[in-house]
Amino acid sequence: EEQLLESGGGLIQPGGSLRLSCGGSEFTFRKYGMSWVRQAPGKGLDWVSCITASGGSRFYADSVKGRFTVSRDSSKNTVYLQMNSLRAEDTAIYYCAKVSETYCSRSSHMDYWGQGTLVTVSS
């Protein structure tokens, strides 16, 4: 079964930067879009970003646009989320999810999720 493993979370001060990584296995990584979804403590799911299989298209939630950057290295089966200008409201568990298709689009959904990595933004 498809496996995803996130890393890179931790405690960071407001205004700081952090890069999350997510490694995929047991599936052909280069063929699928990859997405990030976060969940603030005690709150619901909040979609953050998605990158297509080729890496040619990237999508962001308005709340992170201009501050977060998604990228991928399919030779390493890894997707990244570079988070800059972090704010207290970015505190959450960040989940990496495999997209069901090549593209991030209306015809796709997130079918496998990692266990998440906790990001805490606090002084």
Partner 1 sequence: QSVLTQPPSVSEAPGQRVTISCSGSNSNIGDNAVTWYQQLPGKAPKLLMYDNNLLPSGVSARFSGSKSGTSASLAISGLQSEDEADYYCSAWDDTLNGWVFGGGTKVTVL
Q: Which residues bind partner 1 (CB under 8 A)?
A: 35, 37, 44-47, 50, 59-62, 95, 100, 104-116
Is the CB of 14 or the CB of 43 nearer to partner 1? 43
Q: Distance between CA atoms of 29 and 31, rounded to whole angstroms?
A: 5
Report in angstroms how near the CB of residue 64 gets to partner 1 at its nearest: 10
Least Å from the CB of residue 106 to partner 1: 4
The smaller minimum CB distance to partner 1, of residues 96 and 121, is found at: 96
Closer by beta carbon to partner 1, 60 or else 80: 60
- CA distances 120 to 10, 12, 14, 31, 66, Å, are 6, 6, 9, 32, 20
Instruction: Please give the biggest Cα pair distance in the chain.
Output: 41
Residue 38: count other Cβ atoms within 10 Å of its Cβ. 22
Closest to partner 1 by CB, 42 vs 123, is: 42
Q: Whole-number minimum distance, CB 26 to partner 1, in Å?
A: 15
Nearest distance, CB of residue 96 and partner 1, angstroms: 10
- What are the distances in angstroms from CA 61 to CA 5, 29, 64, 72? 22, 23, 6, 18
